[in-house]
Amino acid sequence: MEILLKNGWIIDGTGSSRYKSDIAIKDNKILKIGANLEGNGYDIIDVSNKIIAPGFIDMHSHADLTILEVNKAEAAIMQGVTTLVVGMCGIGRAPANEKVRNYYSNFITKAFGSSVSQLYDSIQDYMEVLKKKGVSSNLAFFIPHGNIRTYILGLEDRPSKSEELEEMKKIVKKEMGIGAFGLSTGLVYPPGSITPTSEIIELCKVVSDFGGLYDTHMRNEGTRIIEQGIREVIEIAKKSNVRAHISHLKTVGKYAWKLTHDVINLIKNAKEKEIFLHADLYPYEESSTSLSGILLNPWVYDDFEQNLTNSEARKKIVTEILDMIFSTFLSDLPFITRIIPKFLMKKLIFSSFKKDIRIISVLKNHHIEGKFLGEALKILYPKRSFYDAVLDFIRDEEGSIMISIRQMSEEKSILSLFKQDFVCVGSDGFLVIEGNTHPRSYGTFPRILSRYVREKKIVSLEEAIRKMTSLPASILGLRDRGIIRPNFKADLVIFNHQTIRDNSTYENGRQYPEGIDYVIVNGEITVEKGKHLGILNGQILKHEKIIV
């Protein structure tokens, strides 16, 4: 396809100031950039007064879990996202054997409510299936650590033996060899949560041989974010010489907000010592996760319905939940609150659960989506005590309850993180098949451009675009994307910077943004005048070895 974009304002992705120019696109590449270009036989599009930017790279997406079913990836494409980085938080559809398949049907499907219908033996197998089907956006795959460990050890809560570690390394080597961009971990979810740091270091040495990236959902994002979160990432990067990246960087819970500056300084400090370290974030104060995923320990999933019915098991679950909340979020409380009796603390915690946890999506009772937990439980289980109702709710929805939590982050902290030059953008979004979703799945990129850039002027438009394009491209090692330059791939987004805005909300997460006119993926117009054309021109990207 030959396209000529006339009179646009080019923001090239490097952070340089915008300039007025035409762009000629031929096949899948940018052919020429210059004033008054003419093209015989070219499709001419007048983009006067519009911004032309490189297509956005979503550094953190869970799209791979459902993109086979939602292959037009509307939620992402309509935001101007042309590349999705997937296989994040240690979770993905490949590689899998019987043990991994059991883990997914027992845990992932329950915890994340994503009907992952089929898993694949290797990432390459999954890539082949996707290629045949066709997808609208480019995909960059990471190897999910959860799969690797489960593949060899199941969910056994012990360090691996040396021959098991060798087996895991072999899988990482094979998947890196076929073009994975690195290894991802989810250290709050099993089996990441039961994996010792030393084991991750060994796997990262293999990733490092390929110049790949270690991308992590840290072990702690709350009051222990410094010692159990950032310090672990730095230790892994140092000892394995791997390039490292922190997923959805934030300080979780109001007692951790004051640590934001320490987080920034620690990362800056590591960078000064030549450690390759970056992070991504999404622009929302309510984080989103799975209710059962954060509350229940792995043993509960072994016999899910039974354990959530048996009264002894339920007692044990409640005790574990309280312990987890104390150790993750409250361990840094002022001394005075630590002498409050536990039963009273339990009351306080449960009352905050009721008003701060919002139901984003469930498997069955869709009518309570968007409501707060207390309200939802009153409707569904009017006669049960609070914690009995919670456990019944988790059991009856088969674990599939996605929630957002009010005041997990404060905007002030998000903004000071966003300002840092090492921070790029990752939605942490899903491509949902049905039901509601967190607004970040549909709104992350336009929300940054409208709220952080236009309204709050936190960074310039050029800098925000850099964080969405050339920065993630350089972190990933993509050599021909993320910048508007001749011979680079023609992934482009054209928008009106005065009107672009997100429309998705917690109550209705599935609303497209506005102000984005065109999205071009590998030279094909995929969004035209704000409408997805159904074009499936995305590519499965392959990581090329980076010599460090």
Q: How many CB atoms lie within 10 A of CB 1?
A: 15
Task: Using the rule CB under 5 A, give the single segment among 211-219, 269-277, 429-437, 439-447 that binds Zn ion.
Answer: 211-219
The amino acid sitting at 170 is: K
Footprint on residues 431-470 left by Zn ion (CB under 5 A) = none
89 binds Zn ion (CB under 5 A): yes
Q: How many CB atoms lie within 10 A of CB 9?
A: 19
CB of 41 to Zn ion, least distance (A): 47
* Minimum CB distance to Zn ion smaller for 75 or for 89: 89
* Minimum CB distance to Zn ion smaller for 136 or for 289: 289
- Cα–Cα–Cα angle for 358, 363, 368, rounded to 5 degrees: 40
* Minimum CB distance to Zn ion smaller for 83 or for 287: 287
Check residue 514 and report its DSSP letter: B
* Minimum CB distance to Zn ion smaller for 53 or for 81: 81
Task: Using the rule CB under 5 A, give the single segment among 215-223, 349-357, 392-400, 464-472 that binds Zn ion.
Answer: 215-223
Task: Using the rule CB under 5 A, give the single segment among 63-71, 144-152, 213-221, 268-276 that binds Zn ion.
Answer: 213-221
217 binds Zn ion (CB under 5 A): yes
CB of 278 to Zn ion, least distance (A): 16
Residue 477 Rama label (left phi>0; alpha psi -120 to 50; beta): left
* Minimum CB distance to Zn ion smaller for 441 or for 470: 441
CB of 440 to Zn ion, least distance (A): 12
Task: Using the rule CB under 5 A, give the single segment among 41-49, 82-90, 512-520, 524-532 that binds Zn ion.
Answer: 82-90
* Minimum CB distance to Zn ion smaller for 8 or for 186: 186
* Minimum CB distance to Zn ion smaller for 61 or for 136: 61
* Minimum CB distance to Zn ion smaller for 250 or for 497: 250
Dihedral (CA of 372, 378, 381, 386) sign: positive
DSSP per residue, 255-313: TTGGGHHHHHHHHHHHHHTT--EEEEE-S-SSEEEEHHHHH--HHHHHTHHHHTTSHHH
CB of 185 to Zn ion, least distance (A): 9
Task: Using the rule CB under 5 A, give the single segment among 83-91, 299-307, 340-348, 412-420 that binds Zn ion.
Answer: 83-91
150, 152, 154, 157 alpha-carbon torsion, rounded to 10°: -100
* Minimum CB distance to Zn ion smaller for 142 or for 418: 142
Token representation of residue 311: 């009264």
* Minimum CB distance to Zn ion smaller for 57 or for 391: 57
Q: With beta carbons less than 8 A apart as the criterion, state whether 245 and 214 touch.
A: yes
CB of 287 to Zn ion, least distance (A): 9
CB of 261 to Zn ion, least distance (A): 23
Strand ranges for 59-146 from DSSP E: 81-86, 138-141, 143-144
CB of 59 to Zn ion, least distance (A): 12
Which of 441, 543, 519 has the alpha carbon at shortest distance from 70?
441
Task: Using the rule CB under 5 A, give the single segment among 44-52, 214-222, 250-258, 299-307 that binds Zn ion.
Answer: 214-222
**Given the structure tokens 């409510």, which residue do they identify?**
113
Task: Using the rule CB under 5 A, give the single segment among 40-48, 209-217, 344-352, 355-363 that binds Zn ion.
Answer: 209-217
Task: Using the rule CB under 5 A, give the single segment among 212-220, 273-281, 333-341, 516-524 that binds Zn ion.
Answer: 212-220
CB of 186 to Zn ion, least distance (A): 6
Q: What are the φ and ψ backbone dihedral angles of 19, each rounded to 5 degrees? A: -145, 155
* Minimum CB distance to Zn ion smaller for 149 or for 217: 217
CB of 265 to Zn ion, least distance (A): 23
Edge-to-edge strand ranges of the sheet holding 423-425: 143-144, 182-186, 213-217, 243-246, 277-281, 423-425
**Given the structure tokens 């990733």, which residue do they identify?**
207
- Per-residue binding letters, 136-155, with Zn ion (x by CB under 5 A): --------------------
Calpha distance 66→69 (Å, rounded)? 5
DSSP per residue, 321-350: HHHHHIIIIITTS-HHHHTS-HHHHHHHHH
108 binds Zn ion (CB under 5 A): no
The amino acid sitting at 465 is: I
CB of 84 to Zn ion, least distance (A): 15
Q: Which residues bind Zn ion (CB under 5 A)?
A: 89, 217
